[in-house]
Amino acid sequence: MAAVAAAHPELIPDGAVEVDVDSDPALRSRWGDHVPVTFVDGVLIGYWYLDRDTLLAALTEGPTRVRVIP
């Protein structure tokens, strides 16, 4: 996400948050095996790997939920 944010800062909304899953036992229990986990507007758009095109599409066209939710 850092590379997209640097190249397209206008797409990153104010209040965007990066959360360290390991800092919260409940998050680590739910998502620890799937990091990185990426949500846009509350929609899970990717886990294990996030490619640039998926993130850009979610930020410009709206998020599309992943097909398989862990």
- Between CA 31 and CA 12 the distance in angstroms is 23
Which residues are bridge partners to 46 per DSSP? 38
Write down the pLDDT at residue 59. Answer: 94
Write down the pLDDT at residue 2. Answer: 82
Residue ranges of domains in the chain: 2-61
**Tens digit of each residue's pLDDT, the chain (70 residues):** 788 888 999 998 888 889 999 999 999 999 999 999 999 999 999 999 988 999 999 999 999 999 888 8
| pTM, full prediction | 0.84
Q: Which amino acid is at 47?
A: Y
- Give the largest Cα separation in the chain, rounded: 33
Architecture of domain 2-61: 3-Layer(aba) Sandwich (3.40)
Write down the pLDDT at residue 14. Answer: 87
Q: Which residues contact 10 (CB under 8 A, 6 or more apart)?
A: none
Q: Is the bond preceding residue 36 a cis peptide, omega within 30 degrees? A: yes
